[in-house]
Structure 1
Amino acid sequence: MAIYKFPENFTWGAATSGPQTEGWSDKSSFSIYEHWFQTEPEKFHNGVGPAVNCDTYRKYKEDVKLMKEIGLTSFRTSIQWTRLIKNFDTCEVDPVAVEFYNNYINEIIDAGIEPYINLFHFDMPIELQNRGGWESKEVVDLYVKYASKCFELFGDRVKKWCTFNEPIVPAEGGYLYKFMYPNISDFKRAIQVGYNTIVAHAKAVESFRKLKTGGEITIVLNLTPSYPRSEDKKDLEASRIADGIFNRSFLDPVVHGNFPEDVVELLKNNDLLPEYTEEELEVIKNNPIDFLGVNYYQPRRVKAKETEVDPNAPIMPETFFDYYDMPGKRMNPYRGWEIAPQVMYDVAINIRDNYNNIPWYISENGMGVEGEERFRDENGVINDDYRIDFVKEHLTHLHKGIEEGSNCFGYHLWTFIDCWSWANSFKNRYGFVSLDLETGKRTIKKSGRWIREVSETNQFEY
């Protein structure tokens, strides 16, 4: 057993999003997920959509009280574009939504918790998706109007802003692998979506700084470090390409202000470059983030192509590498993801050495488990020791990175309360707090009591 003590003022928190917790009540319009659920409810686990979910819209006071009770010092959620804005073209706000977000933010601050407010968490308004979504430069500009409105409305109190959560996911899910609306598979369109999202991010950062409301602004990237099967040069090349597509193509522009040359060359050689302007590249160059949010769940393991690529097949990322099923890897059987806590250290050192040692924090990390009710004791508490051990193990590797100079200042678990999770709905539970779907009752899990001790002492034993 060893004691792992974290730096002074290290922040302990949790993350969630508006569309996954608030519910539909009093919304101005629907997002792509709400539209998708209405049209194809069978695509959602047990046919459960986002209409009610945690009902945080009505129960935010109860939730904030629980956040304080489990010792959180920071908390990330998002504003819903579809709730706040009544008219996307004019950016007219819904006063009821403004009141809700003001009350919610104030409640968080009054509890002594710092709000980290995100502006986009996969919830593209269906009206704007029908105009092209992130493929459209018009939608980029409308997003910047919306972001600016949020800075104006709430920037006097919110001092930690986030433009996007996991901007690669709408590109992957909606335009490559068909696990998100609009369920298209077209690599070039996915690249345009990813590029336009970075433009929207940079323009929002530019607007934030012009408004001078104070505070800092970031983006949250889900980093999936790419590991080669072997040290063979072809495996290493496959790893470099995968890392470029899925990690560096987002990390480099938001920190360094430019896209990685090897990725640009790869896209150019395969006629995959997005439509861009020099003006857009200048905005990206001139608006780096203040700090970085990193969602880490699992690594990506790859190898060199072992079969000939069909010249008639559409180009996909996997045109350039194969996935490697590493023998003996630990798995979360419920989510189908590898458990590799040692990668947390590699992330920390990569940021230290290759990204200016920018201040950063773990904005999401967590373990989804199906059927947690079986771990509920006679007092109604879920004894999720497996989650405590999962977090401890990851934190030991993060601690090592911090001890070696990586500038990490916080850790957020996904998530505070069991929340609705897109097409998976409530299949897997992630929270410090359990949610009874029938009654809406909230109950602190064992992990919630544990994190309070960690937050109070800034250390844990493992």
Structure 2
Amino acid sequence: MVATCLHGFPSLVSTFADTSREKRSPVNRFPDEFEFGVATAAYQIEGAWNVDGKGWSMWDHLVHTKPKSIIDGTNGDIAANSYYFYKRDVQMLKELGVNNYRFSISWPRIMPFGRPDYINPLGIEYYNNLIDELLANDITPFVTMYHWDLPQSLQERGGWLNEEIVDWFGDYVRVLYENFGDRVKHWLTLNEPFIHCYFGHGLGLHAPMLYSPGEGYYECGRHYLLANARAYHIYDDEFRASQGGLVGFVISMEWGMPATNSTEDIEAARDYAAFHIAHYMHPIFSEEGNYPQIMIDRIAAASVRQGLNVSRLRPFSNEQIKYLKGSADFLGLNHYHSSYVYRNPSVEGLYLVPSIGDDLAVGTFMDPSWPHFEMTF
């Protein structure tokens, strides 16, 4: 299954969503079992940011208290207004001919204050209506439980840097399973830990705009993995037998290729993959579990050089390592770009200290002939 984001690539979606064989050239034919899909996120499309009992997300808080945080001053207050026009949106999906629709549920729309003490019935009603509309049009819902819109009340208690968020997330996903699991059979727990943790809790460019590239980033990722495992085990223990669905994890995959055939560059590409991909895959899918050993070693060595008594990468306990292993039925990959990777003395001094860049200590570049898009923050 391929999910292509609707935003910014309408021609791509409309081209690939044409599933009639007679209209496709031989080079564009896909196997019969191949399924097409599109994807969105709640904050990007729903709008209705403060109606029908929805609470504030940390993005709502950011754009309303620091509007200049967004380059052009826009926000998600209205967005695509999908909260009101979801039926038309589903009709467009049907017109595109897609098989699947990946959308996210807004945590503060379900739990305005982030906790299960109060569950918003109008939020439950909205997603029930959306799911039913999709199924009525033969479109399979793929539901992302968290796509970066943490309730602001939980952010004020530390958010993803507070290990209690593992319990908070568990309470939240249980409500989703209870209310939607009779129809939703494909769950995605948390979206793109690297992007959310690095830009939001490392560089301070996304909500909640925390600047801690050498410690906060790793803490956020640690809790992301534990929260994913909590969601998986709750489903496995309490819902799988009766609902029969699947629970997966989604990462962003930035691929690094060695710039040359030298041993140094090959090792640099290996380390790049460990820090960007295996960081989140190894604890779940490897036989031994835990973080990749090269990542553990490099961060520990850098921490010692910086005069610290312990590594900035807080270790998992043996019980946590066991708890994380196998905590996904499938893996979702979102791929944006690839780079050539190299290691030589010229990269020294390029990165903040401490930071993932300094810990990894590689340089990257792209071939200028490659198609690319510009990212601005």
TM-based fold match above 0.5: yes
Q: Is the contact made by 2:228 and 2:327 (CA closer than 8 Å) also made in structure 1?
A: no
Q: 1:249 to 1:46 in 2, by over 3 A?
A: same
Q: Which moved more, 1:113-122 or 1:225-234?
A: 225-234
Task: Please name the residue that 1:170 is paired with.
Answer: 196
Q: Distance in 1 between matches of 2:253 and 2:118?
A: 35
> Residues 189-338 of structure 1 correspond to what in structure 2 (within 5 A)?
189-210=216-237, 211-212=239-240, 213-256=243-286, 257-269=289-301, 270=303, 271-274=311-314, 276-285=316-325, 287-307=326-346, 309=348, 314-319=353-358, 320-333=360-373, 335-336=374-375
Q: What is the RMSD computed on CA atoms of the aligned residues?
A: 2.2
**Aligned partner of 2:327: which letter?**
P
Q: 1:67 aligns with which of 88, 93, 101?
A: 93
1:120: how far off?
0.6
Code of the residue aligned with 1:300 in structure 2: it is S
CA contact (8 A) 2:232 2:328 kept: yes
Give CA-to-partner distance per residue, 1:91-116, whole Å, 9 cap, x none.
53100101111001100111100000
Deviation larger for 226-235 or 317-326: 317-326
- Structure 1 residues 313, 159: CA separation in 2 closer, same or farther (over 3 Å shift)? closer
User: Does the Cα contact within 8 Å between 1:86 and 1:92 map onto a contact in 2?
Assistant: yes
Q: Which amino acid aligns with 2:33?
A: N
Secondary structure of 1:118's aligned partner: strand
Which segments of 5 or more consecutive residues in structure 1 lack a partner in the other structure? Answer: 337-422, 425-462
For the pair 1:138 / 2:170, whether they are aligned, the reply is no
Question: Once the two structures are aligned, what percentage of the paired residues are identical?
Answer: 27
Cα separation, 2, equivalents of 1:138 and 1:292 = 25
1:14 partner SS: strand
Q: CA deviation at 1:308?
A: 7.1
CA offsets 1:363-403 (integer angstroms, 9 cap, x no match): xxxxxxxxxxxxxxxxxxxxxxxxxxxxxxxxxxxxxxxxx
Residues 254 and 303 (structure 1), Cα distance of their counterparts in 2 relative to 1, 3 Å cut: same
**Shift in Å, 1:311:** 12
Q: Does 1:107 align with 2:137?
A: no
From 4, 10, 13, the counterpart of 2:37: 13
User: Shift in Å at residue 294 of structure 1?
Assistant: 0.9
The answer as to whether partners of 1:192 and 1:275 remain within 8 angstroms in 2 is no
| 1:188, distance to aligned residue in structure 2 (A) | 1.6
Going from structure 1 to structure 2, the CA distance change for 1:74 and 1:327 (only over 3 Å counts) comes to: closer
**What amino acid is aligned across from residue 323 of structure 2 in structure 1?**
V
Give secondary structure in 1 for the equivalent of 2:83.
Answer: helix
Distance 2:79 2:148 in 1: 16
CA distance in 2, matches of 1:22, 1:321: 40
Identify the range of structure 1 (316-325 vs 289-298) with the bigger mean alpha-carbon deviation: 316-325
**Residues 91 and 145, structure 1, Cα contact 8 Å, conserved in 2:** no
| Counterpart residue identity of residue 144, structure 2 | N
Unaligned runs of 5+ in 2: 1-24, 304-310
TM-aligned CA distance change 1:157 to 1:232, over 3 Å: same
Q: Is 2:107–2:146's contact at 8 Å kept on the other side of the alignment?
A: yes
Distance in 2, Cα, partners of 1:197 & 1:28: 24
* Contact 1:242-1:321 at 8 Å conserved across structures: no
CA-CA distance at 1:278 after TM superposition = 2.8
Once residues 333 and 350 of structure 2 are traced to their aligned partners in structure 1, the CA distance between those partners, rounded to angstroms, is: 37
Could you tell me which of 199, 211, 219 is aligned with 1:184?
211
- Tell me if the contact between 2:112 and 2:151 (Cα under 8 Å) persists in the aligned partners: no
Partner Cα separation in structure 2 for residue 103 and residue 42 of structure 1: 35
One-letter identity of the residue aligned with 2:162: S
Residue type of the alignment partner of 1:201: N
